[in-house]
Homo-oligomer: A and B are copies of this chain.
Amino acid sequence: MANLLKRALVGRPIDTADAGHTLLPKAIALPVFASDPLSSVAYATQEILLTLGLGGLALMWLTPYLAAAVALLLIIVTISYRQTVRAYPNGGGAYVVAGTNLGQTAGLTAASALLIDYVLTVAVSVSAGVDAITSAASGLVDHKVVIALGFVAFVTLLNLRGVKESGTLFAIPTYLFIAGIYIMLAVALFRLGRGDVMRAETASMVLPKTAKTLGLAALLLGLRAFSSGCTALTGVEAISNGVPAFRKPKIENANKTLAAMATIGVTMFVGITALAINYKVRVTEEFIRQGGKTALAQIAATTFNSDRTFMFFFIQATTAGILILAANTAYNGFPALASILAKDNYMPRQLASRGDRLVFSNGVVLLALFAGALIYAFQANVTHLVQLYIVGVFVSFTLSQAGMVQHWRKVLRDDPTADRSKVMRSMTINIVGSSTTALVLVIVLYSKFIRGAWIPVCGGIVLFFVMKAIHRHYERVARQIRLDHPRQVLPARNHAVVLVSSLSVPTMRALNYARSINPHTLQAISIAVDPEAARALEEAWERNGIDIPLVRVASPYRDLTKPLVEFVKNIRRQGANDVVTVVLPEFVVTRWWEQLLHGQSAFLIKLALLRTPGVVLTNVPWHLSDEDEGGDGASGESSDEPPLTAMAAEPGDGQ
């Protein structure tokens, strides 16, 4: 039944051999990998305005300069990443690039930072998407968290179905969003050219001044606003991670997609910010929390004259669409990175295996759980979540670009055939890229640390050490199980012990099986929880002439496990190299509730025996048959059950 539900939700299993078919054409790759940086224009401008607004109107003049700085940064990072795509066509994630060139510590640092930022990407994008919806339908403002969690569940499901199908689906809202923004910019440009004076509904809003705006305080506020604006850069690395998912020629296609993303992103961001300045858009955290319009929604309402026009709703709907689907970038990145880490023994193995729809299902589910928890903890508040965001992105940007610098140095040193001037050019680009992102990282840390950035920093450090511990564990295992000289030998002596509670069909099956494996010694053991029952068993044993010795073990405290383990340990004292095979008659019922009627002692016994050295555990199951044919000669043994008791191929005479 659970299986049917799973099939209905995620679809039929996909053959491993079909893996190649899910490669992406450029037009699909752009929305799949770039919806994150494209969608962040929906909140990056607003977060700049909101942060500057903490100082009243005094620092609003900084807005265009900050926007220009963010746009420039986006261009620098994009060009820097083009070098990575070229150098690492098999996927140049920060973990690989930094790890290969700067050592494993740098690689792991980048990986922890990225994993945490993927989670934040989902949380921030989905929350901002819900803000877009409540801008158009403010009645929903009290249900933000539930709506956001619903969207996380929806995106998770899409991703469990597989990357290609989700790609096709995601293309539509992304392209509609881009079209909508461009139409809005064109209309605004036309109206401004005509001489219209347009003002946002909040143009005359009084901004309560809560921060100082003189000297160092002003600088700090400016830096904070810049840091918040840098959210526009998250996800730029997704394309360089995802090169193998592109159709051939992979490098060219990936770089063209990267260029398209940067061009579209910068024009939209600059355009929206310019309109926000022109329209005198004002925004505060409180205003948004109470269901007020986002900056982008205000711009749309102003441009199209009213918040009742078709175009206003179109912009809001596509914004919500692209934002919620932007989370998809993380759904591609997180499971892929986790699987690489798992293959390198830094993450649990389960993250490396593809589910039956060829996606890394465990990683997808893990990401959804963490993102859902964050959304719940921060009540889908974008401004608060943004404080935690982008620290990780800039850690990985810096390490990745610094790794590229090292990469080119190695090429110069080791590869005499390389085109030196081309390599020198790439190296220069990466030097500029890494130093710029390092500077931004310092700014982000400095301006945001006490406002929330400490959370991902601490989380990253913990994750780093957890990965180290996992790696040590797997290394230890690998060392211990390595087989230098396989020896095909028989164990010294095998002592079989059959656990018996009554003389019944299942018991007889177990006894006969134990006899068939030719043990060195064979005993039946009865744990005397109830002395009377034990005596009855001994009588039945004698009466039926069972020739296997029956040993009664006392259990004054009515516990099955401890006496059994002690008994087994005692046998092993006879010879350190001996093996004890414990044979457990197992009872398999047909209906789930029947299991409740048979106790869990078998489970506890198995657990304890598995932890006892030198024990081999053998379950001889006996299946309760559903159609009850009464007590015929075969003792009701079910037809598809091999009759260990009834069959008579050369009756053996014991050991």
Contact = CB atoms under 8 A, between A and B. Distances in A.
Contacts of A529: 16, 353
Interface stretch (A70-78, A236-244, A289-297, A630-638): A630-638
A13 to B, nearest CB: 4
Given A505-B483, A640-B614, A490 B649 contact: yes
Contact of A613 (B356, B476, B547, B640): B640
Given A505-B481, A579-B642, A647 B489 contact: yes
A598 B347 CA distance: 11
A649 B490 CA distance: 7
A40 interface: no
B597 A489 contact: no
A559 interface: yes
Interface in A529-586: 529, 531, 544, 546-547, 556-559, 572, 576-579, 581, 586
Nearest to A575: B642
Interface stretch (A84-92, A131-139, A252-260, A618-626): A618-626
A165 interface: no
Contact of A642 (B614, B638, B647): B614
Nearest to A12: B557
Interface in A347-395: 348-350, 353-356
Interface stretch (A398-406, A408-416, A508-516): A508-516
A419 interface: no
A324 B647 CA distance: 61
A428 to B, nearest CB: 40
A605 interface: no
Which of A13, A483, A594, A642 gathers most chain B CB within 10 Å? A642
Number of copies: 2
Given A494-B517, A588-B610, A544 B486 contact: yes
A263 interface: no
A606 B586 CA distance: 12
Nearest to A547: B488
A355 B613 contact: no
Contacts of A504: 481-483
Contacts of A638: 480, 613
A506 interface: yes
Interface string A1-36: 000000000000111110000000000000000000
A645 interface: yes
Contacts of A337: none
A628 B480 contact: yes
Contacts of A511: 488
Contact of A356 (B487, B505, B558, B596): B558
Given A494-B516, A576-B642, A531 B479 contact: no
A197 interface: no
A405 to B, nearest CB: 34
A601 to B, nearest CB: 9
A619 B613 contact: no
A599 interface: yes
A623 to B, nearest CB: 6
A179 interface: no
Contacts of A581: 618
A470 B620 CA distance: 25
B348 A633 contact: no
10 contacts: A354-B558, A476-B628, A480-B628, A483-B504, A488-B651, A489-B644, A491-B642, A491-B647, A577-B649, A578-B642
